[in-house]
Amino acid sequence: MVCALLFFIGQHINKQSCFGLKMSFDEEIRFQYLGRNPSLHAPVLSLIACSIIFNSIIFYILPSTITPLKKSYIVSTVHALASVLAATLFYLFSTINLKQVNRIVGGGILATHDEKMVYSLCYSCGYFIYDIIIMLLFKSVRNRSALIHHVIIASSVLAGLYTGIGHSCHFFFLMEELSTIPLNLKTLWNSTVRLHKSFNVLFIASFLFSRLIYGTIIFLYIFRAIPIFIQMASRAHDYISIVIIFIQGILCILTRILNVYWTILIVRKTFSMLQVNQRYTPMQQKEHDQKTQ
């Protein structure tokens, strides 16, 4: 039902753009804030369904000796690696202009690498839907903040895939998955003290870089572009797009709040670990780590 509604809205927005072909001024305005991607012919639902099936297969083919929680971490790591790789390749081989409205809060432009964003975002959307299902099925995997995060992200990405609004910035945010890799690895190797500590340090560093520094930069570019987007949409009498960008902006703010919440948790845990390190000798610390793990 949600997909059908988004599809209808997406068609309405694109029909307005098509009608604007007879009125070059309106069409030019729409292009400047909406861009041209993703295409209405993009098999969005099929790609998302394939992603859900792919992630589910990985989860269920893993040995039964592995707990559901660790299985979910493995699938999450695969998704994070794919997301970071896609974003990195885009930065290496594409022209980046975060000040261009249709390439930061719109869908991007045709005949560029912007067209390929849809594949990575469909894969990610499918992953988040899969993970929501896993969290609902397995209590040991359930995590309130992660569940809230997944619902927000999946809703936002799905809306962007069907309307093009926020599509590009959703792709840029995939780089934030960099911190997910060491986070999962430190949990998977929690029985090995040295590896656990190394991955913990990498997690803190990558979280600060990807979610606080990089994520904040993208966030600022988004909110620099939103007033311009609204102004252009108003000139074209495209009030549906204004409502959607407003909702997308709220969802984006919620993800930043979650990042701040996670940062507070990380800082508290880090200070707690430092206090423990000062309290014990190296040998006692090793025994303490083994007990707590």
Task: Give the pLDDT band (50/70/90) at residue 97.
Answer: very high
For 140-151, the pLDDT digits (tens) are: 999 998 999 999
Q: pTM of the prediction?
A: 0.85
pLDDT value for 267:
87
Q: Which of 253, 215, 214, 249 is nearest to 229 (CA)?
A: 249
Whether residue 134 contacts residue 70, with contact meaning beta carbons closer than 8 Å, is answered with: no
For 269-287, the pLDDT digits (tens) are: 887 776 665 555 444 455 5
- Examine the pLDDT at 19 and tell me if it is beyond 70: no
End-to-end alpha-carbon separation of the chain, Å?
A: 44
Residues 163-187 have a mean pLDDT of 96
Cα 237 from chain centre:
30
Per-residue 3-state assignment (H helix, E strand, C coil) for the chain? CHHHHHHHHHHHHHHHHHHHHHCHHHHHHHHHHHCCCCCCCCCHHHHHHHHHHHHHHHHHHCCCCCCHHHHHHHHHHHHHHHHHHHHHHHHHHCCCCCCCHHHCCCCCCCCCHHHHHHHHHHHHHHHHHHHHHHHHHCCCCCCHHHHHHHHHHHHHHHHHHHHCCCHHHHHHHHHHHHHHHHHHHHHHCCCCHHHHHHHHHHHHHHHHHHHHHHHHHHHHHHHHHHHHHHHHHHHCCCHHHHHHHHHHHHHHHHHHHHHHHHHHHHHHHHHHHHHHHHHCCHHHHHHHHHHHC
- Examine the pLDDT at 211 and tell me if it is beyond 50: yes
- Examine the pLDDT at 8 and tell me if it is beyond 60: no
pLDDT value for 193:
83
- Examine the pLDDT at 171 and tell me if it is beyond 60: yes
* CA atoms within 13 Å, Cβ hemisphere of 137: 12
pLDDT value for 153:
95
Whether residue 241 contacts residue 165, with contact meaning beta carbons closer than 8 Å, is answered with: yes
